Structure 1
């Protein structure tokens, strides 16, 4: 099913409502978006099958689980050959402390979001992991002082 077909007004309402609370029952969801249960369920299933809805997750307070240090690390690679890029990205995917990774334009080749318990743990992470990643030639780290906005729902225009 094409996204244009899936994302009509009701589907956008469903997505907005699920981003607000993914734990609500199908009956609650249907009521909130103005549909009966069966059409709501069909739209939900269509969006799951088409990949619009990829997963249902829980937002965990990182500080309450001991990950109070958040660092944004800009990474530069030695070369941009397919081998170097593939090896670097595969290594990043295997590293649980790297929770987000973006290939970027501008001064840095990649932007990583890294979570550690404290600055000492990040220092160890730099030496034990980042400096050993394939192709890394430079890194600039910015310590996050305060998360002003994170985990916001996607602006899907419901």
Structure 2
């Protein structure tokens, strides 16, 4: 049987969402893979909740609701919608590096042997498959990639670099820049200004 949900109605300039649809999205395993297109879908409460979750994703629905001035059930419905829209991409635990034996972080600049698509594809597969590659970005300029490596120590970094950048045969040259201190570290995103030109903070 095919069920058709009614499109969200608008009242007073605001979109009204069907809570039954949101509840279904929460229970449906594929909900996080669905992109819901809603014009002007994020309001101030959404931004406040997102900012708080970026700081601490373990906050309870009651705590989030108290800060945002809405009920816990309203928070739940909003989070269901934000996940269905892929605004909330994932929720993870941030670990202390030293506690898990990570004592060396390095930024590595990489230039491939050539621009063949196969070489880029192979290098990206290497990077994605290696747990000690924390981040990898394709960049524009004299280098092709910037890679963040996290290892136990300098010796482990050298071993990893040899395997990734020399033995693979994909890299023409690379330059390792060891870090001395983490001045700022995180994944929290800033929020753009709203339509009235007001900057929206991260809570």
Provide, for residues 42-94 of structure 1, a one-character-per-residue CA deviation record: whole Å limited to 9, x for no partner.
Answer: 11111111111011111111122111100000000122222111111011100
Match of 2:28 in 1: none
Question: How big is the shift at 1:133?
Answer: 3.2
Q: Which residue matches 2:185?
A: 150
Q: Map residues 53-64 of structure 1 onto 2, 5 A cutoff.
A: 53-64=88-99
Tell me how far apart the structure 1 counterparts of residues 110 and 48 of structure 2 sit (CA, whole Å): 38
1 or 2, which has the higher helix percentage?
Answer: 1
TM-score (norm 1): 0.92
Higher RCO (C-alpha under 8 Å, 6+ residues apart) = 1
Kindly provide the CA deviation profile for residues 104-143 of structure 1, in whole angstroms up to 9, marking residues without a partner as x: 1122110000011111111111222332335211100000
Q: How high is the TM-score relative to the length of structure 2? A: 0.73
Map 1:90-129 to 2 at 5 A: 90-129=125-164
Q: 1:36 aligned to 47, 62, 71, which one? A: 71
How many residue pairs were aligned?
A: 158
Q: For 2:47 and 2:113, locate their aligned partners in 1 and report how far apart those are by CA, in whole Å.
A: 43
Residue 118 (structure 2) aligns with: 83
Stretches of structure 1 lacking an aligned partner (at least 5 in a row): none
1:34 to 1:133, Cα distance in 2 relative to 1, 3 A: farther
1:65 aligns with 2:100: yes
- CA RMSD in angstroms comes to 1.5
2 CA distance for matches of 1:130 and 1:147?
25
Give the structure with higher Rg (CA): 2
Unpaired runs of 5+ in structure 2? 1-35, 192-199
Matched, 1:50 2:80: no
